[in-house]
Chain A
Amino acid sequence: MTDDKDVLRDVWFGRIPTCFTLYQDEITEREAEPYYLLLPRVSYLTLVTDKVKKHFQKVMRQEDISEIWFEYEGTPLKWHYPIGLLFDLLASSSALPWNITVHFKSFPEKDLLHCPSKDVIEAHFMSCVKEADALKHKSQVINEMQKKDHKQLWMGLQNDRFDQFWAINRKLMEYPAEENGFRYIPFRIYQTTTERPFIQKLFRPVSTDGQLHTLGDLLKEVCPSAVAPEVPNTVLPGEAKIEPTFEPSRIAGGRKASLAVKCWASQGPSRVFIARKKFHWFRTKLKQQVFRAGVQKFQL
C-alpha cells in the first residue's frame, strides 16, 4: 500500500465544513450563535464535537442539558457511522457548509445508540476493526497484536495522527505473498432508499479462475440495482482494483471528499470560522487539495 500513500493521506485528511446550530426549542439564557467546525470524514461525531457541546452549554442551564444528539433535516444522525458516510448519504447534494442541528433533550431512543462516554466510541471502533480483520485474516492479525497496539490505533484516530495510526493499521492491510489478497473484502454498502441499514456479504477479492475482482464485480453481485446495465462511461470506476480502506464502510468516499473541498473553496473560506492557529495551515492545505482534486482521478 506504500505507493498509495497519497490516496491514504487524502482519505484521512478529508474534511467537511459544518455549521452547528442549536435547536430552536432548546431553553437558553441568551442567544446561541452557530458554531463552525471542519469535521474529519474518518472520525465520529461524538468524538470531535466537544467544543460544540461546550459552546452551546455556555448559554444553557445545567438542568436543561442531557445527552447531546445531532440531526440533519429531521433525521437523527447516527454517531456510530463515520462522519464522511453520514455526509455522503444525507447531504452531499446540498450546498456547503453542512448544516447540523444540535439537541440536548428528547433523545430519540428508537433511532440512536447512546454515547455516554469516549470509551463507548472506542469500543465501537475497535469492534469494527476486529470484525474487518475477521474477514481479512480470520482475526489472526488483530489477535496477535498487543493491547498497546490496539490503543495506538484508537489514539491515532482520536488525535488525528496519520502516522501513529498507520504504523499499526498497515499490519492489518497486509496479506501473505502467496495469497492474492485478503480472505474476504470487508465492505458495507449504504443506501438511503432501503429500510435495511447496509448490505454486507462475504466477497472474495479473487475469482475462482484467479481473476482479480473489481469494484464493478462486487456491486453487480451484491447490489445489482445500483449498477446501470450495459451503459458505457458509468460513474463507477469499474476498472479500479479493489483496494480496501481501513474502514469497513462506504465506497467512493474518497472522491467525494475531494469534490466537497473543491465546492467549498469556491464559496470562499470567509464563511467558516477555524481555530486561529490552524487557519493559515489550512489555507495552504486547501489550495493543495483543490489542485489535486482537479487533476487527479481517484482510485478506490
Chain B
Amino acid sequence: MEEDEFFGEKTFQHYCAEFIKHSQKIGDGWEWRASKDCSDGYMCKTHFQVKNGTAMSHQGTSAHVQTFLPVEEAVDPPLDDFEVTETTTAAEVIKYEYHVLYSCSYQVPVLYFRASFLDGRPLALKDIWEGVHECYKMRLLQGPWDTITQQEHPILGQPFFVLHPCKTSEFLIPVLKNSRKINRNVNYITSWLSMVGPAVGLNLPLSYATAASQEEGNVSGQGKKRSLHSTFPVAEILGLFCIWLCPPCWTQHFLSLLSPLTGH
C-alpha cells in the first residue's frame, strides 16, 4: 500500500511465508492463520514444556538450543508422531502459544504469547517472568513500555502477553540496511525472532539462519560458496544480541564494531 514503508505488511507476510516453509522442512511447528475476514493474519506455534525447565522432545529439534556457537547440529530424524517423554503429572505441563503479528502503527512484527496448564488455567505474568533469563530481565525493565505487558490480542480479542514493539525498529533497521548494502538476503523475521524469542522461552534452531543464506545463493545462481557462510549469521546474531541488551545509545557503537564481521 505505501511505498515508503520499510517493513510493510506485504513484506512481513512474505518473510513469514518463507519462515514457515523452512519450519515445515524441519518440523518446527509454525503455521499461518488468517483472520476471519482474511484481510490479514498471523504466524503461530504451540509448544509444551515441563515446568522444571526441560522441554519435551518435539519432532526432531533439540530443545536446548541455548548456544550460538557454530556446532554441527545433529538433527534427529523427524518423528512421525509427537512423542512425549513425560514423567510428571499433567498439572506441571505448560502449553505455550506464540503468535507473530504485524503492527501497522510501528511497522514491525510483534510477539504475542500466552501460557497455560493443560487443564486450561492460565499462567500469571509473575510466573512467566520467573521463566525469563536474568540477562534479559535487566534490559526489559529499562522502561515501562519495554517490558512484557498483558494486552488484548488484536485479532482474537483475548488476553496475551506482549513484548512491546516500540524499540524493535531501532535494532532491526540497521540489520536490513546493512544486508541490502552487501546484497545479502536476510529474512528479518528470522533475525528478529531469534533475538526476542529466547527472552520468553522461544528458541530457533540455527538452521533458520543458514536457510535464509541458502535461498539467496539459489536466487543469485552462483555456485560460489563463501567460507564465512556458516559463521556469518552467528556473528550477526551475537552482535545483535549485544545490541538488544544495551541501551539504544550504544546501538550505533556496536553496529560500527559489527560491520567488519558482516561485510566481506
- Scan residues 109-131 of chain A and give those whose CB is less than 8 A from a CB of chain B: 109-114, 119, 123-124, 126-127, 130-131
Could you say which of B37, B105, B150 contacts A113, with CB atoms under 8 Å apart? B150
Q: Which residues of B contact A124 (CB under 8 A)?
A: 149, 151
Chain A minimum-CB-distance residue to B35: A196
Which listed segment binds B: A9-17, A42-50, A197-205, A238-246? A197-205
How far apart sit A194 and B149, CA to CA, in the bound complex (Å)? 25
A119 to B145, CA, bound (A): 12
Question: Do the beta carbons of B166 and A112 come within 8 Å of each other?
Answer: no
B53 at interface by CB-CB < 8 Å: no
Q: Are A202 and B150 in contact (CB under 8 A)?
A: no
Which of A78, A109, A135, A198 lies in contact with B122, CB distance below 8 A?
Answer: A109
Which of B83-91, B153-161, B197-205 is the contact stretch? B153-161
* A134, CB-defined interface residue at 8 Å: yes
Asked whether, in the complex, the Cβ of B145 is within 8 Å of the Cβ of A130, the reply is yes
* Binding site secondary structure of chain A: loop
Any A CB within 8 A of the CB of B241: no
Interface string of B29-69 (1 = CB under 8 A from A): 00000011100000000000000000000000000000000
Task: Please give, as numbers and ranges, the residues of chain A lying within 8 Å of B164 by CB-CB distance.
Answer: 127
Residue of B1, B37, B122, B158 near A202 (CB, 8 A) is B1
Give CA–CA (A195, B156) in the complex, Å.
7
Which bracket fits the contact residues of A?
Answer: 20 to 34
| A200 in contact with B104 given A112-B159, A127-B164, A195-B157 (CB within 8 Å) | yes
| B136 sits at the interface (CB 8 A) | no
| CA A96 to CA B176, docked complex, whole Å | 55
**A119 neighbours in B (Cβ, 8 Å):** 144
Given A123-B144, A127-B164, A135-B105, decide whether A195 and B159 contact each other with a Cβ distance below 8 A.
no
Note all chain B residues with C-beta closer than 8 A to A196: 35-37, 154-155, 157
Which residue from chain B places its CB closest to the CB of A122 in the assembled complex? Answer: B144
Q: Is A21 an interface residue (CB 8 A)?
A: no
Could you say which residues of chain B place their CB within 8 Å of the CB of A198? 154
Q: Which residues of B contact A127 (CB under 8 A)?
A: 145, 149, 164
Question: Is there an interface contact between A134 and B35, defined as CB atoms closer than 8 Å?
Answer: no
- Which of B36, B37, B105, B152 is close to A80, meaning CB atoms less than 8 Å apart? B152
Q: Which chain B residues lie closer than 8 Å to A197 at the CB level?
A: 152, 154, 157
Task: Among A113, A134, A195, A200, point to the contact of B151 (Cβ < 8 A).
Answer: A113
A152 beta carbon closer than 8 Å to chain B: no
Query: Are B159 and A109 in touch, CB under 8 angstroms?
Result: yes
How many chain-B residues does the 8 Å CB contact rule pick out?
Answer: 26
| A112-B159 Cα distance, complex, nearest whole Å | 6
Give A124 to B150 CA distance when docked, in angstroms.
9
| B106 on the A face (CB < 8 A) | yes
Question: Beta-carbon contacts of B151-181 to A below 8 Å, as 1s and 0s?
Answer: 1101111110000101000000000000000
Q: Is B2 an interface residue (CB 8 A)?
A: yes
Q: Across the interface, which residues of B come within 8 angstroms of A139, CB to CB?
A: 166
In angstroms, Cα B149 to Cα A113, docked, is 10
- Which residues of chain A from 123 to 153 have any CB-CB distance to chain B below 8 Å in the complex? 123-124, 126-127, 130-131, 134-135, 139
Complex contact B105–A123 (CB within 8 A): no
Are A113 and B155 interface neighbours, CB within 8 A?
no
Of A78, A109, A123, A134, the residue contacting B149 (CB under 8 A) is: A123
Q: Is the CB of A110 within 8 A of B155?
A: no
Knowing A123-B149, A130-B166, A131-B105 are in contact, say whether A200-B157 is a contact too (CB < 8 A). Answer: no
List chain A residues, Cβ under 8 A from B37.
Answer: 194, 196
Q: Is the CB of A202 within 8 A of B151?
A: no
Interfacial residues of chain B within 84-119, with CB under 8 A of chain A in the complex = 104-106
> Smallest distance from the beta carbon of B110 to chain A beta carbons, Å?
11
**Given that A80-B152, A202-B1 are known contacts, is A111 also in contact with B105, CB under 8 Å in the complex?**
no
CA separation between A112 and B150, bound complex, in Å?
Answer: 10
Q: How far is the CA of A197 from the CA of B157 in the complex (A)?
A: 5
Residues of A within 8 A of B106 (CB): 131, 134
Contacts of A109 in B (CB 8 A): 121-122, 159
A204 to B, closest residue via Cβ: B2
8 of the cross-chain contacts (CB-CB < 8 Å) are: A109-B122, A109-B159, A111-B158, A135-B105, A194-B36, A197-B154, A198-B154, A200-B104
Tell me the B residues contacting A by CB distance below 8 Å: 1-2, 35-37, 104-106, 121-122, 124-125, 144-145, 149-152, 154-159, 164, 166
- Counting from the closest, the 5 A-B pairs by CB-CB distance are A197-B157, A131-B105, A134-B105, A109-B122, A113-B150
15 additional A-B pairs beyond A109-B159, A196-B154, beta carbons within 8 Å, are A78-B152, A110-B159, A111-B158, A113-B150, A114-B159, A123-B144, A126-B144, A134-B105, A134-B106, A186-B105, A194-B37, A195-B157, A197-B152, A200-B105, A200-B154
